[in-house]
């Protein structure tokens, strides 16, 4: 875990011994669980530290996450980027959402092993966002999901309160995807604030982070059901 500590320090994040231990537990449990349940195609410890842990932590450098912020991670998979952000600051109120029960089971066990209080929900993102207890209740929504940004924006911006932000973590070649998502983002009440491009260390790939500010409420009919979205993309 010295690699993770050093690479985090290189981007201005000082990890405590307690945080390093939590990341060690996280990695070992992920590798063990992944033997019988497919959670990630990344299986080498160095790759997990850089492509999962560090990649998730980098987000804290580009979006404001204050003490006790309410964060929702939509389509979280094996907990990225939400759980690493929670390890960095345990005061944040973190909610994880995923549609696959096998991932939910992993996340519940993981939160117990890490002794972290995390809200975990097995649900479709577009359905949960219509519930009053989730609607525009979060300071920040984050997602590393593979869906195109126009669809991801419809899924996520309904969770974000006005003045909050949605941070979408995308691949390196996202310019066309961003351009194609402008109408969807505007319709959902968002505005592109900035897009940051970066290289992961040790030649582990490139990343773009799109920060979208919520400037007005999302119309009540959004997000639509997935079947409706696919038939009529914004």
Q: How confident is the model at residue 231 (pLDDT cuts 50, 70, 90)?
A: confident
Those residues with Cβ within 8 angstroms of residue 199's Cβ, 6 or more apart along the chain or in another chain: 205, 206, 207
Mean pLDDT of the chain: 95
How confident is the model at residue 234, as a pLDDT?
A: 83
Max alpha carbon distance in the chain (Å)? Answer: 50
**Percentage of residues of the chain with pLDDT beyond 70:** 100
Look at residues 109, 119, 188 and name the one whose alpha carbon lies nearest to residue 151: 188
Mean pLDDT of 100-115: 98
Q: Is residue 173's pLDDT more than 90?
A: no
How confident is the model at residue 203, as a pLDDT?
A: 87
Q: How confident is the model at residue 187 (pLDDT cuts 50, 70, 90)?
A: very high
Residue tagged 């961003």 (tokens): 178
Q: Angle between the 17-33 and 101-114 helix axes, to the nearest 10 degrees?
A: 150
Distance CA 231, CA 228 (A): 5
Token pair, residue 132, equals 């009053």
What does the chain look like in DSSP terms, one character per residue? -HHHHHHHHHTT----HHHHHHHHHHHHHHHHHTTTS---S--SHHHIIIIIIIHHHHGGGTS---TT-EEEEET-TTTTTHHHHHHH-TTSEEEEEES-HHHHHHHHHHHHHHT---EEEES-HHHHTTSTTTTT-EEEEEE---S-HHHHHHHHGGGEEEEEEEEEEE-S--HHHHHHTHHHHHHTTEEEEEEEEEE-GGG--EEEEEEEEE-SPPPTT-SPPHHHHHHS--
How confident is the model at residue 171, as a pLDDT?
A: 87
Tens of pLDDT, residues 38-93: 999 999 999 999 999 999 999 999 998 888 899 999 999 999 999 999 999 999 99
Q: How confident is the model at residue 182 (pLDDT cuts 50, 70, 90)?
A: very high
Look at residues 177, 139, 142 and name the one whose alpha carbon lies nearest to residue 156: 142
* All structural domains of the chain: 2-231 (3.40.50.150)
């Amino acid at each position: 875990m010295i690699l993770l500590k050093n690479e985090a320090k290189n981007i201005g994040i000082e990890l405590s011994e307690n945080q390093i231990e939590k990341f060690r537990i996280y990695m070992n449990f992920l590798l063990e669980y992944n033997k019988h349940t497919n959670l990630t195609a990344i299986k080498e410890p160095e790759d997990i530290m850089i492509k999962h842990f560090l990649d998730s932590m980098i987000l804290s450098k580009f979006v404001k996450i204050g003490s006790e912020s309410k964060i929702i991670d939509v389509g979280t998979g094996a907990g990225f980027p939400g759980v690493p952000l929670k390890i960095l600051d345990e005061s944040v109120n973190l909610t994880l959402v995923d549609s696959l029960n096998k991932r939910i089971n992993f996340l519940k066990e993981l939160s117990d092993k890490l002794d972290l209080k995390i809200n975990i929900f097995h649900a479709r993102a577009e359905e949960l966002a219509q519930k009053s207890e989730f609607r525009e209740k979060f300071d920040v929504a984050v997602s590393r999901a593979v869906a195109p940004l126009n669809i991801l924006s419809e899924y996520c911006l309904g969770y974000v309160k006005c003045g909050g932000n949605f941070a979408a973590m995308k691949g390196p070649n996202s310019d066309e995807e961003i351009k194609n998502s402008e109408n969807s983002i505007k319709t959902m009440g968002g505005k592109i604030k900035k897009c940051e491009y970066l290289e992961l260390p040790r030649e582990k790939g490139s990343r773009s982070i799109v920060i979208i500010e919520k400037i007005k409420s999302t119309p009540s009919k959004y997000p639509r059901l997935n079947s409706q979205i696919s038939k009529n993309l914004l």
